[in-house]
Amino acid sequence: MRTQVCIIGGGPAGLLLSQLLHRAGIDTVILERRARDYVLSRIRAGVLEWGTVEMLRKAGVGARMDAEGYVHGGVYLSAQNRGFRIDFDALVNKRVMVYGQTEVTHDLYDARDAMGGVIIDEAEGVTPHDLDADAPYVTYLKDGTEHRIDCDFVAGCDGFHGVSRQTIPDSVLRTYERVYPFGWLGVLSETRPADDELIYANHERGFALCSMRNMNLSRYYIQVPLDHEVAQWSDDAFWDELRRRIPQDVAETLDTGPSVEKSIAPLRSFVAEPMKWGRLFLVGDAAHIVPPTGAKGLNLAVSDVHYLYEGLKAHYADGESEGVERYSERALARVWKSTRFSWWMTTMLHRFPDQSAFDQRIQESELAYLESSEAARRALAENYVGLPY
C-alpha cells in the first residue's frame, strides 16, 4: 500500500490530522493498535481551548460540539473552603468549551468514515523503517499477515507508550520529566454538576476538582497518595472527602450518587525533544505529557496537529519546506509554555508529602494574590483559554 502520510495512532490527534489532511487533498492511512470500541471507551477530560474548538470546526467536525457542548466563560478557584471566580470573558474575551474527549473521538471517526478515510484497527507490531531516509515505510501485522505501507512521512500519534518516540536514536532524543508524588482519584456520576463552571480547590487535606460532562453527568477528583487503590474508596468515603475540600456553600448543595466509573491516575510532566527526526513527527502524548490540572493534554495535541498540518499542506501545495522543517521548533515553543502553566497550577493547588505549614500558607497567599490582582487573573485566564498558535 502507498500513501503520502502514514499516521500511527487512531486517537483524537491522529484522527484530526487525517481529517484535516484529507480535506486538503493529502492521502493518509491510520494504523491503530486497539479495536475501535476500546478507543471509544476511554474516559478522558473534556475542557477544550478555543483554538481547539476552532480547529474542530475547521476540520468539519464541530456541529455536534456546538450543539451539545457547554461554553464556559470562567473558572472557580478556592482555598480552605472559600472560592472566587476567574472571569475569562472580562479578562481576555475568550472562553473554553466543555465537551468530552470521547465525544470528540466519536465525531472524528464518523467524519473519517463518511469521507472514506482508511483506518486499520487492531494493527499489531507496527514498526517504522528508514525514517532518516527519503523513502520511509511502516510494517504491521493484521490477522497474522505482515503488511507494508510506503509513504512520504510518518506521524507518530501513538501516545506515551507508543513505538514512534522509541524509534528516535538515544543520541538524538532528549527527555525531561517530573513525576508528582500523588495521583487523582476520579469519580464519574450521573448527578447534577456542583456548579455551572469548574471548581479547582486547594485544601490542607489535598486538592479537589469539580468538573462535568453534561447537566446530568459529573466528574469529580480528589488528590490521593500514589499507594492508594480504588477499592479503598467507597462512594460514601469519596463524597465525604470531596465535601471537606471544596467551598462550603458548594459542599452543602452537592448532588451525590453511585459512581459510574472510578479510577486513580498518576500525574507527570514529560517533554521529549526533538519532535521531528528525519521523516518522523511526534504528535501529542507521544512527545509530551502534562498533569491534568491545567486541562492541556488534548489541547496540546491539537496545537501539534495545527503546526504539522500547516507544514504538510504547504509542502504538498507549494513545495515549501519551512513548515515541515521547523515543526519541532514551533510546536515545542508552545508545549513548554503549556507545560509551565500545568506545573504551576499543580504546584499551587496540591498538597505535597513533605509540605510544611509555611508551604501551605504560601499556596494560600498565591491564591489570595490571584483574587486581588487583575493582572494575575488575566495571566491565568490567558493560559487557561489557550495561548495563540
Distances (CA, A) of 242 to 227, 254, 291, 337, 357: 19, 10, 20, 31, 21
**pLDDT higher than threshold 80 for residue 26:** yes
**pLDDT higher than threshold 90 for residue 213:** no
CATH homologous superfamily of 5-72+96-177+268-345 equals FAD/NAD(P)-binding domain (3.50.50.60)
State the Cα–Cα distance between residues 252 and 363, nearest whole angstrom: 25
Nine-digit cell at 199? 471548581
- Residue 46: pLDDT band by 50, 70, 90 thresholds? confident
The answer to whether residues 189 and 218 touch, using CB atoms and an 8 Å cutoff, is yes
Q: Please give the full DSSP string across 173-194, using - where no structure is assigned.
A: -EEEEEEEEEEEEEEEESS--S
pTM: 0.96
Which amino acids are annotated catalytic? Answer: 72, 200, 292, 296, 384
Among the listed residues 85, 12, 66, 86, the one whose alpha carbon sits nearest the alpha carbon of residue 384: 86
- Residue 40: pLDDT band by 50, 70, 90 thresholds? confident
Mean pLDDT (whole number) for 6-32: 98
CATH 3.50.50.60, the chain: domain bounds: 5-72+96-177+268-345
In CATH, the number for domain 180-267+353-385 is 3.30.9.10
3-class DSSP state for residue 301?
A: helix
State the Cα–Cα distance between residues 241 and 187, nearest whole angstrom: 12
pLDDT tens readout for residues 144-196: 999 999 999 999 999 999 999 999 999 999 999 999 999 999 999 999 999 99
Would you state the pLDDT for residue 220? Answer: 97
pLDDT tens readout for residues 51-73: 999 999 999 999 999 999 999 99
CATH 3.30.9.10, the chain: domain bounds: 180-267+353-385
Q: What percent of the chain has pLDDT over 70?
A: 99
pLDDT tens readout for residues 259-275: 999 999 999 999 999 99
The answer to whether residues 121 and 25 touch, using CB atoms and an 8 Å cutoff, is no
State the Cα–Cα distance between residues 304 and 327, nearest whole angstrom: 8
State the Cα–Cα distance between residues 45 and 12, nearest whole angstrom: 12
Mean pLDDT (whole number) for 218-229: 96
**pLDDT higher than threshold 80 for residue 43:** no
